[in-house]
Structure 1
């Protein structure tokens, strides 16, 4: 007779099929069973036709990959533990000793740090280019250039580049293009259909998660050979994501368009409010006419298109670091914190002079920049919070 300890593990009951519900089931597994040796030997981990090991995918992770590929207009998707891991996967999969990668000077800082750290240690060089000058990119492309990173808009400073022109310069030289599409989220524009890139990486930590509680990234492609190259590297590095995190993103995806539009509306309203404040010398938001690259945003996203929930302001230089820090510390609803795309509004002050290479792209302002991520609070409450904090700036003016 089988003992209870064995029967608890090998119980014969299997729930009937046909259960349907709004949320998909969560499948957690490292080990995956095969019915016989022949099936084990025949199964190919590179295909979604079956399952081989939890690290290579479960019904839950396959479902999220397929939905994200559709969202961005691609055909294949890989999941990794963070947005930065997605950037790293692309670099490690496509570059080798002696190769060069070009990165926009206004790119996400950790992307540049990866290039100066790990990639340099592997004998891979990098150069920065001015994202707002396609000719600068074209002039820096060489036989050694195997990958060009793109970002729209630029990190923190929000300049919107002429993406199709940058991509065209790369295609003319046969260079692979990878776009950090976290801001666009697959909604503002199509990375493949509209911009023409080869790879789209996405920090699912931001808008797809929407809760500020998940770290995950994705790499989406259209080209099968390119996808396989990325997937082989993905397997060799052992990158996987937790089933509960996948569940959280799957649960949030249906509301993504609604949340994105709400973030967008509130951010535009607050950005335009800042335009009338005498403490501010420039508001950086792609949908504003005076923001760098506004015409490029309009051409790609449409003049009535989407523009996410981020914007930055530059304080007049008469307000020093102490005053701007006082402003940030005086905010109640806007919390000091990195990241964006969640329900809570966030604020971060930056010294752009430390983040840009003056030999590549000139930053015209001397005042301190503050970036806002607008959450889902009432916009009138957020405006009142900003107004009261601005009053504190004048207490330390000069």
Structure 2
């Protein structure tokens, strides 16, 4: 099936839906067994989408897990209450005291904080590496390197990583490759076809698509699924049925929304390239973005998230630029239908392996599905305020 059809059909097996279109929302903790034999059978098959206990899942969660595996690949999908929980839960499932991990220097800032605090307390050492290192990552691998973590493109600075080259070096060494695939989504990047062992997504973002749910997923290859599933269960991770239902509903329009996000973002990114106030634009689909050739090779599309650097901007000027926005709202996260703007004035504080790309303020945009003319007009007025201050 084509991806558009898969988005409609995935996770809609009759055993989950019955005779209705969408899987019902099951609110459950306790599951009742009619006989001792039924209970023993459920215990034996608790890892195979059998009703056993609410934290193990119900048909609502099973349907979403099925859908993610069908869309992204992998042997199984674990659910978490947020994207960060999926990242931390996946890493914790495969490391122990004395291990070493390699983390991309441009990672999502909370991922970095998790490595620098929780993992450090556990006795797990983290080394940050240049996002553009490619196959040369082999020089950083140690005998105790357990996990190599990639995020492509990077969270703020948008470098596109050579995931296949990194994965080959890691696998030759016996390390596991985990990827934050939230930007690419299951539609625009196929992690398992590029050597990834565990693909992680903040379903909070494009899968849900409406800025009203916190949800994370981690999908694993057959070799790593059993350990991911059991360790996540032992740590108590699960996802609320109402949130999962909204994620299932979001999947159905993911393709349509992404097309509009992609189109609008490219219009704005090209417009920003011509602005005298802008030092440069970081959009993976534009030739000037680090790793653009890799993006062309490995990705089948782009989304609404990208960044640009201002040439300069005092605190007063930056406030004037941001405070008067009508359509671009200031806020964290991204992936919803609405446009967002986020300033980062000191990118150097969250880079240790590589220098900050420029000294000017970084502005991250998430371009929503509003009309691009209105979004351009909003930014135009912002630049006027910036210049005046």
Provide TM-score, normalisation by structure 1.
Answer: 0.91
Quick one: distance in 2 between partners of 1:145 and 1:263? 38
8 Å Cα contact 1:25-1:60 kept in structure 2: yes
8 Å Cα contact 2:348-2:355 kept in structure 1: no
Quick one: distance in 1 between partners of 2:25 and 2:17? 16
Name the residue aligned to 1:91: 91
Q: Give the structure with higher Rg (CA).
A: 1
Quick one: distance in 2 between partners of 1:353 and 1:122? 26
Q: How does 1:129-144 map to 2 (within 5 A)?
A: 129-144=129-144
Unaligned runs of 5+ in 1: 1-16
1:322 Cα deviation (Å)?
A: 2.5
1:146 matches 2:140 = no
Per-residue Cα deviation, 1:312-368 (whole angstroms, up to 9, x for no partner): 110013x323212321112111000001110110000002122211xx212231111
2:265 to 264, 267, 270: 267
- 195-204 or 225-234, which moves further after superposition? 225-234
Name the residue aligned to 1:313: 308
Per-residue Cα deviation, 1:266-313 (whole angstroms, up to 9, x for no partner): 001000000110000100000001111111100112xxx311111111
Distance change (3 Å), C-alpha of 1:239 and 1:25 = same
1:276 to 274, 277, 282: 274
Name the residue aligned to 1:33: 32
Name the residue aligned to 2:357: 364
Name the residue aligned to 1:333: 327
Larger fraction in helix: 2
1:69 Cα deviation (Å)?
A: 1.1
8 Å Cα contact 2:343-2:363 kept in structure 1: yes
Quick one: distance in 1 between partners of 2:174 and 2:75? 21
- Stretches (4+) displaced over 6 A: none
1:342 to 333, 336, 343: 336
- The two structures, once aligned, show a CA RMSD in angstroms of 1.4
Name the residue aligned to 1:244: 242
1:49 Cα deviation (Å)?
A: 4.8
Per-residue Cα deviation, 1:8-58 (whole angstroms, up to 9, x for no partner): xxxxxxxxx995232221111101111201111222354225211010010
8 Å Cα contact 1:331-1:386 kept in structure 2: yes
1:376 Cα deviation (Å)?
A: 1.3
SS at match of 1:364: coil
1:136 Cα deviation (Å)?
A: 4.6
8 Å Cα contact 2:17-2:23 kept in structure 1: no
Name the residue aligned to 1:3: none
8 Å Cα contact 1:131-1:137 kept in structure 2: no
Per-residue Cα deviation, 1:196-223 (whole angstroms, up to 9, x for no partner): 1100000000000001000000010122
Distance change (3 Å), C-alpha of 1:97 and 1:349 = same
Kindly tell me the number of residue pairs found equivalent between the two proteins: 372
Q: How does 1:218-257 map to 2 (within 5 A)?
A: 218-223=217-222, 225-257=223-255
Quick one: distance in 2 between partners of 1:202 and 1:93? 16
Quick one: distance in 2 between partners of 1:98 and 1:49? 34
Q: How does 1:17-56 map to 2 (within 5 A)?
A: 20-43=19-42, 44=44, 46-56=46-56
Name the residue aligned to 1:114: 114
Name the residue aligned to 1:171: 171
SS at match of 2:148: strand
Distance change (3 Å), C-alpha of 1:39 and 1:21 = closer
1:75 Cα deviation (Å)?
A: 2.2
1:71 Cα deviation (Å)?
A: 1.3
8 Å Cα contact 1:45-1:56 kept in structure 2: no
Name the residue aligned to 1:376: 369
8 Å Cα contact 1:321-1:368 kept in structure 2: no
Provide TM-score, normalisation by structure 2.
Answer: 0.93
Name the residue aligned to 2:10: none
1:289 matches 2:283 = no
